[in-house]
Every structure is written in structure tokens, then in C-alpha cells.
Amino acid sequence: MTTGTGTITTTRTTIRMNTEPATEDVLKLAQWFSPGFPVGAFAWSHGLEAALAEGRVVRGSVEAWLEGVLEDGAGRADAALLAAAYGSEGDALTEVDALARALAPSAERLAETVDQGTAFARTVSALWPDRAVSPMAYPVAVGRAAALHGLPLELTATMYVQAVIGNLVAVATRAVPLGQTEAQAMLARLTKRCEAVAQEAIAGGLDNLGTASFAADVAAMRHEGLYSRVFRS
């Protein structure tokens, strides 16, 4: 009869709960989505400049306009694209990128997502060359980078959506114009919806992706013909 002895060595294990992301993950996402991260978001108004110039959006309705973009426009659609990219690689990832580009309703909106995504991919690839991301539409590049860095999907999508809306609040602050406190109060109210929009978009997947932001799309098209322009979309 043979006997054996076994040793159990306990090592320090980190258990990550979905509800409590690691601090290092939050800090990395905060860096990616800070206005200082060089994606050039400040240059794009997503059609808002045209809507303001034509008087279709005024100071009193700018928050409702942003809410439409968040709930029924690129906010929700981008969260679904980000989630699809997060779970894809190779040809499937290329297809998600092609879909993101094809969904752009105008030439400037296409440039808006591709330019920011290209700048984002360039920067994260320079900082972490072992986890390089190729140039893709902005939500697709972010989803891919988040997967490569092992970041939690829901938090990434929520913070991405908040960053997109936060940038448009900053655009409105300059273009309307709004007071700093007024603008931040607006962003605080809109932020309350970012998590739910991201969760619903992730749960719905690409098959349920869709928008109803017809007037914002028209504004983006009309921006191309605007006589005097500060923003690139």
C-alpha cells in the first residue's frame, strides 16, 4: 500500500466581483475617458452646432437633445457596438467595425467615429504595445481595448457613454453657451441614465441595436452646409 502526502499552498487570490470593479480598472478607464486623453473629442459636436445655428435647439432644450442622443441615438447604439467588439476577435471584430462605420448617417458622423477611434487605438497601442489595437470606429476600438485589458464590460460601456455625453455637454457649454455649474448639473442628471442605457444595450445585443435620432441625424447632415463652423461635425 502506498501512501502519499500532499501539500496545499495558499496564494493570495483576487476575486473580482462584477459589482465591485478593481480600483486599478476604474483608474485606467478614468484615464481613457478623461478629456486629456488625445482622441480629439472636443472637435466634434455630433450635429449640435447645426441644430443650434438653425434655432432647432435652444438653451432650454439642449438637455432634451442630449437625452435623445443618449437614449435613442449614438449613446445606446455605441454601447451595443462596444459590447459586440468586446466579445469578438479576428473576422468577427472586423465585421463589428464595418457595421459601426455603415451605421454613420452622414460623412461627418463617419469621420467623427473613425477619427476618434483611430486616435484612441494609436494612444492605447503606444502605452501598452503588447495589447495593440488596430484603428477602428471609436466604440469598437474601446470595446476591443477593454477586452485586451480584462476590464469589466458594463463599467467600460457605462463610462464610455458618459464620456460621449460629457463631451457633448462641453460642446454645448461653448456653443450655447452654458454656465459651468449649469452644464455640470446637466451632466449629473444625464449620468443617472448612462448605466441603464449601457446595461440595456449590452443585454439587447446587435440584433436589437437601433436608433430613433432622426432629427440629430438630419442636423449632422445639415452641418456640412453650415456657413460658419467651429466643430467638425
Partner 1 sequence: MSGALKLLFPQSRGPLQAMMVNSAGGLTGGDRFRLDAEAEVGAALSLTTQAAERAYRAQPDECAEVSVRLSAGAGACLYWLPQETILFQACALRRRLRVDLADDAKLLLCEPLVFGRTAMGEKLTEGWFSDRVEIFRDRQRAFTDATRLVGDIAAQLAGPATGAGCRASALVVYVAPDAEHQRDALRAALPDDALAGASLIAQDVMVARFLGPDGFGLRRLLMPALDRLSANTLPRSWRL
List interacting residues with partner 1 (CB under 8 A).
Answer: 51, 56-57, 61, 64-69, 72-73, 77, 95, 98-99, 101-108, 110, 208-222, 224-225
Least Å from the CB of residue 62 to partner 1: 8
Pick 185 or 218: Cβ nearer partner 1 = 218
Pick 68 or 152: Cβ nearer partner 1 = 68
Least Å from the CB of residue 38 to partner 1: 26
Pick 65 or 160: Cβ nearer partner 1 = 65
Least Å from the CB of residue 61 to partner 1: 5
Q: How far apart are CA 144 and CA 85, in angstroms?
A: 6
Question: Do the beta carbons of residue 27 and residue 201 sit within 8 Å?
Answer: no
Q: Helices (DSSP H) in 54-179: which residue ranges? A: 62-72, 74-86, 91-102, 107-127, 138-148, 153-175
HSE (CB half, 13 Å, CA atoms) of 23? Answer: 0
Least Å from the CB of residue 77 to partner 1: 7
What is the 8-class DSSP label of residue 17? B
**Which residues, including other chains, have CB under 8 Å from residue 28's CB and lie 6 or more apart?**
149, 151
Pick 106 or 156: Cβ nearer partner 1 = 106
Pick 94 or 123: Cβ nearer partner 1 = 94
Least Å from the CB of residue 191 to partner 1: 18
Other Cβ atoms within 10 Å of 141 Cβ, number: 29
